[in-house]
Amino acid sequence: MPARRKLIAGNWKMNGLHAAGLELATDLARRLASAGTVGFDMLVCPPATLVHPVAGAVAGTPLAVGGQDCHPKESGAHTGDIGAPMLADAGAGFVIVGHSERRQNHGEDDALVAAKAAAAHAAGLVAIVCVGETLEQREAGQALAVVASQVAGSLPAGADAANTVIAYEPVWAIGTGKTATAADVAEVHAHIRATLAGRAGKPDAVRILYGGSVKPSNAAELMAVEDVDGALVGGASLVADDFWAIAETCR
């Protein structure tokens, strides 16, 4: 099994104004620079208004910057949307696609997520493809089937370890304070790994993140689970001390 470097990704969601966003990003960049050799990569995904200033503020540091969504088309008459080439032009290297909040609040299906991931790849971005079941689906015993179906339907042709990261985020554990048990996470991540075979290049090298109320108090246990290659962090990524503490569990 190839060694997979952990990725600690922060999804700021619809939070952050200019001054506070730059302060948070530069604080994390300074910590990374002073930490020397670490066993993880760190990424922040601010709102679209902050991608360019944050990317500029942390240029030359190990801190990566990403967007939170992109349109499947690179340009055109799509008012309010952002094309993947625009994110790349602003300094992003990653983009989240298919987050559960996009799937639920905007009706995004697997086909649209796959199209967005393909657009990200074409623009030279790494797509973080999100999958995860609802509470009703888990209680009905459908979690593994739902997640496998989402993985299969959300990956475009050409997806591989260099351009794609998978993020498993049980919908019922996002922003609720609930966290899947280590056994639950291990089961789903192993199933995702198996599902990637034949659907992604170098499937054993594709990083699979866990996202769902990750915080300093549970990060060490979650990051120690087999096939967990990092975390997609929501609320805790807005607090530098908390986000750094999560990352430190991967050193």
C-beta of residue 234 within 8 angstroms of C-beta of residue 178: no
State the catalytic residues: 99, 169
Please report the beta strands in the chain, taking only residues with DSSP state E, as ranges in sequence order.
6-11, 40-45, 64-67, 94-97, 126-131, 164-168, 207-210, 230-233
Give the integer Cα–Cα distance in Å for 72 and 143.
Answer: 27
Q: Is 9 left (phi over 0), alpha (psi -120 to 50) or beta?
A: beta
* Residue environment code for 170-189, b if the CB has 16+ CB neighbours within 10 A, otherwise e: bbbbbeeeebbebebbbbbb
Give the integer Cα–Cα distance in Å for 166 and 231.
Answer: 10
Task: Read off the tokens for 219.
Answer: 């990060």
C-beta of residue 58 within 8 angstroms of C-beta of residue 65: yes
